[in-house]
Amino acid sequence: MPKAGIIYNDVKPIAGRVAIELKDQLTAAGWDVCMTASIGGILGYSNPDSPVCHTPISGLTPPGFDSDMRFAVVLGGDGTVLAASRQVAPSGVPLLTVNTGHMGFLTETYLNQLPTAMEQVMEGHYEIEDRAMLNVQVWRGDSVLWEALCLNEMVLHREPLTSMCHFEIEIGRHAAVDIAADGVIVSTPTGSTAYSLSAGGPVIAPGVPVLQLVPICPHSLASRALVFPDHEPVNIYPVNIPRLVMVVDGNGGCFVLSEDRVYLRRSEYKARFIRLQPPEFFRILREKLGWGLPHIAKPSSVELP
């Protein structure tokens, strides 16, 4: 019996309703179905009184979501996709992402197209696009305080008010650099269209094997976004700051003290997305962000007399 999964945003009633309907349809068609809420992929926050909030990366995988599962359907918006990718990346389950939210930059199809999409997926007529992920850890001495898989970005900044921070950053074997800014972002190509884009970073096509470092409101004109190979790990040391806040993928993180070290590296796990047609990144940029749309009238091709 083939096995499929459903991951849904249980905060949105429509996602929960469609999840139950889809489970009944798949079960009637002879599929073994595992269903779970995306809240299981929400990272959560540590706090100063209890800084250790360490859930192993593999501990987020729901029961039944293993390598025998052919695919999983994700019902929600971009936040749900981010959470679901953390839940299933260790088992390599491909995700069909269905938009029930607003922007849906990471989603593949819409609810009104779900019946056709399911028929195509159940027949195996699709491609799989792999997206790189980051392993993010906070170390204090020889102990890991917190870790997570990251599909978009890691952000490190001061709280509760925005103000200048100093960071010493080591990339691979290169000499450490000092950056003074309101914060720093380390982003994957997938995350290059999210927070780092708003902070002035470049858009990077998903298949390019790089990461980028983006200072947030840097103090110096010389501190600008840096793109570097994704096989090089990154160590970030806060300098002379009592406490910073680290946020991963916008939905979880921890406090980082001056004696801590943030360590990032490309994960051995990947987010695997089902594509119903060959991926076309520029089309998504155009449809979702308006990139490349004409802003002036083009001259007519008709020759005047």
Pick from 131, 84, 78, 97: which is nearest to 269 by CA? Answer: 131
Residue 127 assigned as binding residue? no
Residue 235 assigned as binding residue? no
Tokens of 237: 């040391």
Of these residues, 10, 78, 142, 230, which one is catalytic?
Answer: 78
Radius of gyration of the chain (CA): 21
Residue 152 assigned as binding residue? yes
Residue 153 assigned as binding residue? yes
Residue 78 a catalytic site member: yes
Residue 181 assigned as binding residue? no
Residue 301 assigned as binding residue? no
Q: 114-122 and 13-28 helices cross at what angle (nearest 10)? A: 40
Residue 193 assigned as binding residue? yes
Amino acid at 107: T
Residue 195 assigned as binding residue? yes
CA distance 17 to 116: 18
Residue 198 assigned as binding residue? yes
Residue 249 assigned as binding residue? no
Residue 194 assigned as binding residue? yes
Residue 226 assigned as binding residue? no
Known binding-site positions: 78-79, 152-153, 182, 193-198, 251
Known binding-site positions for NAD(+): 78-79, 152-153, 182, 193-198, 251
* Catalytic positions: 78
